[in-house]
Structure 1
Amino acid sequence: MISIGDKVGGRYKIIDHIGSGGMSNVYLGHDLILNRFVAVKVLRFDFQDNKDSIRRFKREALSAAQLTHPNIVAVYDVDEENGQQYIVMEYNDGEDLKDYIKKHGPIEPKRAVFIMKQLLEALSLAHQNRIIHRDIKSQNVLIDHHDHVQLTDFGIAVALSDTSVTQTNTLLGSVHYLSPEQARGSRATIQSDIYALGIVMYEILVGKVPFDGDSPVSIALKHFQEDLPSIRSQIPQVPQALENVCLRATAKNPAVRYKSCQEMYNDISTAMDSKRKNEAKFDPKQQGKKNKVRVVKPVAELLSETKSQKDMRERIKSQHLDKMTKAKKPVKTSRRRKVHYFLLAILMMAMLGTLWVFLHPRSEQVEVPILSQMTLKRAEENLKEAGLTLGEIKKEKNDVVQKGYVIRSNPAEGKTVKKGSKVSLIVSSGKKLVTIEDYTGKSYSSVRKKLDKLGFNVERYEEASDNVKPGIIIDQDLKVGKKVDPHTTTIALTVSTGLESVSVANLSGYSEQEVRDYAQNNGFDLKISYASSDEIEKGFLVSQNPEAGSPLPFGGTLSVVISSGPSNDKKSLRTVQRWTRVSYLPKDGRGNSSNHIEVFIEDQNHKMNKPVQSLEISESTDINLTFELKPGQVGKYMIKRDGVIIEQNANVTG
């Protein structure tokens, strides 16, 4: 039995247990060869003899291994250790979407769209490869702190062409995300995956699943009996266009849902646009009535006369002639002519009508089948089966639909057309490639914005330069003119930091000569000034600019102050004292509060911008003011009580 500390397959060391599923345990492993963390999914010991469980476990590895996409957890390896099956997968250190929604839900609309678009891209790729997931739910979506999501657990996924799946197997998915047709026992389809994804979307926006109950049966009944609860009535800030995406994806009738993930992706991409601000609420039931397929009879059949209609016409004609022959009075010639002309006109109209019917027959009407996400060959077969022919084929770049697969058709899927009509196809010619430009000499910030928008992963490197300003690109690793897929390409840009900088040393304690030597050795321009100091020995550093540890480029200016020794007039300073009484002023009239007093003086050692004393008084207090003044120097002082000046003197002389 595989456990913590084991080395599986000779290269994967099991480090910790990180989760459990219905029939498997998941461990954090370390790939000793590639030096990376991996997730090791191990079939539980009690399922080792269950052939169905083993088959499902292997199917997960097979299905996921066919799909390479940043939003699908990658499968690296699959093997068996002492009779126990395991899958080695990409390790995602995030959490499942279900737990994330519990902590942070409901998710605001813009972030919800960002998450959903990633899931649609992942599921679109699976459908392109003819794989139905069948177990789409928030527990099978991993999300990290950057809102990057990955679809996982293809354990019950099946190929679209797999007709051996029983009705029992179609109910393996979670009942909270089960489509109405699956609840009735029908096989899973692309539309049932889209339904489940619509339920996940509802859960993201509202913070909970739409249908819940005491038992799986009661929940399943709600899926095909009850309308989806209104999102906007619970979360008003969700735009109607965005709710409409969810309503269409979760329509009870599969024909009303999106035909493909690509179609849903296109719709949700514009759901936040201002032009869709006043969009009406989508009604799946009304749309279902419009989508009912009916075969229209040819007009020739509708216009053709029945036998009884013919008999009736002949009988009327016979009766009319009898009346004419039995008339007692002779009919005037002019009147007879009019009757003949009238009958002749009717006969001509009947003949022309019959001729028009034969010359303009209305053929049977058919519906354009689902063609998107199919290979060209498969799409052509579907057209033939529907009684349609392949028309013009156009190529178009597409970031989602795989090369060689159909993006859309014209007329669109679901449209009613004449049988035998031509249907044009727009086929993906692969992802949109971007031509690498020459970014050197341009601002890194502006280039980075442009590359981020295109989908590139940008790496920044810095390098000093004597002749290029800071922030300007001086080199790039991709060749100019090369065509690349931005979504899978990393571009490295080298950015100038300007002149090469040196971290300035702490020159405290340096003599003037040592400072000069330091500046010369590092290529600095030295600026020296002198000042008297009673603390620093003559000829030694008093201060420096820039400060120690600051970057200074080659050729930059280093300014220092060197001590010239004690001040000559220090002995000539005289001390002057002043006493002043500060009155206490009660704030509440009863003397229960104190006054905040600040004293400012200006002399040889102090400036008026900073108080020399701060104190609290609750009674009138005498304060001593001491000044040190040079000969001829005038002192100043100012006293504030609770921020208000109450006394000041600008002429303290002794």
Structure 2
Amino acid sequence: MDTTPTDPLVGRLLDGRYRVESRIARGGMATVYVALDVRLDRTVAIKVMHRGLAEDPSFVRRFIGEAKSVASLSHPNVVQVFDQGTDGDVVYLSMEYVPGRTLRDVLRDRGRLPAREALEVMIPVLAALSAAHQAGMIHRDVKPENVLLADDGRVKVVDFGLARAIEATNQTRTGVMIGTIAYMSPEQVTSGAADARSDVYAAGIMLFELLTGRQPYEGETSMAIAYRHVHDTVPVPSALLPGSPPLLDTLVAQATARETAGRFADATAMLVAAVDAHRMLSRESGPIPSGPVPSGPVLPAPVTGAHPAPAGTAPPPLPPANPTLIQPRVEVLTEPAPAGASVALAGAAAPRRGPAPKVWFLVALAAVMVVAIGVTGWLFSRTTTVTVPDLVTHNVKLAAEQAREKGFAVEIGPAEHSEDVPKDIVLRTVPAAGAEVEPGAKLTLVASAGPKRIAVPNVVGLDANAARERIAAAGLTVDEVKRQASETVPRDQVMRTSPAVGNKVKEGAKVDLIVSAGLVMPDVTGMQRDAARSALESVGLVPEFVEQTDQAQPCTVIAQDPKAGAEIDKGAVARMTLSACDNGEWHWPWENNDQDVSDDNVIVVPNVVFKDVKAARDELRAAGFKVRVHKGLNRNRVLAQRPPGGQPAPPGTEVTLWH
């Protein structure tokens, strides 16, 4: 599993639904990741198309259409497509995750398979293709890399419709054919046309490879291999492995006939034949020699015995010679030819009967063939590719120089923020490292812009809801809204933020709002009337007093409305209830008991009004008094005290302070 930590998609949440966990494969057209579908809490495979494809509108349209078709194809041997979508510049498929390995991995590890085991792999592959063909779909790229062998033994075919979607892109106009040359049918090579019989041809090549451990055609170039698909007849397995079952020779020969008319009509027909062959294999198969398969060119097996048919059926005829537009063939004329006509191009394998064609026609036809061969060679020569180097973690300027030295047309794209990668270091390349591209192709380098930091926006003066919206728009979130009394800021308006406005923080960081609670009703109970009036008026409140008979000290506040701590607006009326101011003679508590309050046993209470609260407390305690503090206006200076300064009182008397 490829878990390269610098892949920018790893850790990303696509479409708010798929959290990309790790990268498991990367090819020339797409990269595959394991992801968690957070909505359904299941593991899926995400196939992300490379940027060059995602930027092509024709590909995206065709891709979406093909995805819908494949999603409707429900079969146990087809990798199920769950979803398709785009997220910014990412075009992706969400598919069934199949833990296991590809058939190519098995061939690489084990080599060829025994005949029965090869059929047991091919039968579910053909079943998947059969379901697709019956639904009107063609795979177009059947090969071992697109066959998955699950850890639990299931066989799954993947990538239906992808080749067809790619055909809609500009990449098909560069002369590069869509498909894999080793499995490409003759008609795909010559004209690009494909139908169900093209998938059958590729399945026949794959069966040949499973049985022999090698592909039927080898060559130094793709052109050489494609030429042989068009001009040669695929050898039967027994040509390499004498004694291999004749039934499988027949199956391979009919699947890989050069003429489409000689092949199985579709995968369903080939599936029936494969099941019959598997059923009869134990009776028909002889010993298969062990050891490596010889390398080098494979000659087709003789016609006799190369295509035995199952018991009770007539053997299928060998496919006739295949005249194509890029296949010159020489024929000696059986009748005298006009002067200058030495060779001609035959339209059939049998000698021509009747008059010979005119020389000018043959010469013109030969010229067409030569031109066609030249064009085909040019097309295949353009399939030469180079590998995109891995420039991630390099300095962007140095990476650009390295890429230019390798022949790429380098473009430095817009930088992207990263919390982990320093500024000016390459985050990714487009195409990605390891992709196969044409020489001189454009290579875009995307560098890190460093960590993204956002300035806390100015929301002072806004209400809490408007402040939330502005902070969210900046990419931040509001954590707590804290209310705080203020004599100057109207109630419910933001006074400040924490962190403060203008500070730069990480994207998504939390910001606290400190909102004005307006005026908070002070606690003035126990104050003398004049002190209470002064305290209330100083914060913009309008005091109203009513008196009632009470045992409290005359003209002191015994009740208040609003209650202490209530949020109120400036200019509001504060109603105070006083003990009657003409309540007769009133005595301090210590004057009504039997304790000695002579002049020698009392202390004059210090006057601490308007002093700092802490200093006032310390002074009173030093004089021998207890101290009780009321939060009146919550200021740092004493607004009132009781007993008042200058009043004699015994040591230990409690003095109440308001601030």
Q: TM-score band, normalised by the shorter chain?
A: 0.3 to 0.5
* Normalised TM-score (structure 1): 0.41
Greater relative contact order (Cα 8 A, min sep 6): structure 1 or 2?
2
* Normalised TM-score (structure 2): 0.40
Structure ranking higher in strand proportion: 1
